[in-house]
Structure 1
Amino acid sequence: GHPEVHRDVAGALWSLAGNQDNQMTIAQSGGVEPLVNLLKVGSSAAQETAAGALFALAEASINRVSIAEAGGISPLVALFESGSDEAKEQAAGALQALVMNNPPNQLSVAQDLVEMLCNGSSSAQEHVTQLIRNLAKEPENRGAIAKAGAVPQLVQQLERGSEKAMVEAAAGLRLIALKSTKHRSNVTQELVKLLA
């Protein structure tokens, strides 16, 4: 199909996905996989609308599983490197929705975000650091974020990141440290290493 058609169809699905019944219908009709595919191969505009549609679909808990099973997490994270500002915003929303009450997704999202912190551009790292901070506001996400190895990477952002990334990293570390004594100890040790 034509890129504009993909964009328009994804946009129509995004509009329809605002309604809970439609969220189920879209998923049951096999709509998730083509939307995930558009994240990888679509035009910039198609990526935006596909990410927005997945964000809306992820409101339904069953769709959070379907999106993850369709391989949707990694291409959403990849938009922090390659997507437009709108695509990045929709991807962040979709990822935040995907982790709600879903421990496997919490860990998968955290692992992909940490990977992007290790290897992404400074702009991508800023977006990822901000998202990690936002995810860490929810106590249930903090363990997954720490388990995925985010603490040393956030400390790296304190040392080498942009000013924005530093602020987000500091806030994220504070939130992760609230999780448990073990996490406080982990965060503290990494911060002390930074002073050495």
Structure 2
Amino acid sequence: MSTLCPAWSGRPTGGGERPTPAGELKRAQVFEEGDVFMLEPPFPGFFADRYLMDFYDTAARDICSRMHLHTGLRFVRMMTGPDTTIRVSSLSPITVRPPTGRFAPLSCFADDLPGTPDGVRRERHNVIVPPNAWVDMQIPRGVSHQFNAVGPNAVIDSVHPEESIETLREGMSGYRMMAQTIFLARDRGPAATCADTGAPETTPPR
């Protein structure tokens, strides 16, 4: 089931003031995956907003975030600390570039998407971000994805270049993320459906 959830609550002011004063950090929203803080609103010459999401621990809450897609492109840097992984999932194959230097290849595997109707099977593609690591990811508009952190030390730093043009044109303030989110499931599943790493296979260099 698809649910359309607009995430913008701003209003045009015409004054062009900055929604977040320089040097300040504020919680902008609460998402299924974690708390979201605005790091940088869009400004002339840089038409993108930048957010930091502090992930919840999926295992501790015993609940997963849902597969979803956005109407705008996103550039995401996923960062983990000790004893924490991030499982990235998608209904589309995920292209993993070979690492350089001494970095180990990422683990990836496929499993069945849980919660589908009887007789329906959808393959879910997964990549595991290991502890004490950072991984960059590009998510095109309309591509399904799902983030679930296992452990307390995980964040993503994301930039959304396509959703801020209207903000700049209208001189809005007090806004939140403008891109719409379409959830591909009605309910969130238990941690058992997303918190494990399965039987990962090492991604071969391409």
**TM-score, reference length from structure 2:** 0.30
More strand by share: 2
Relative contact order (alpha carbons < 8 A, sep ≥ 6): 1 or 2 greater?
A: 2
More helix by share: 1
**TM-score, reference length from structure 1:** 0.31
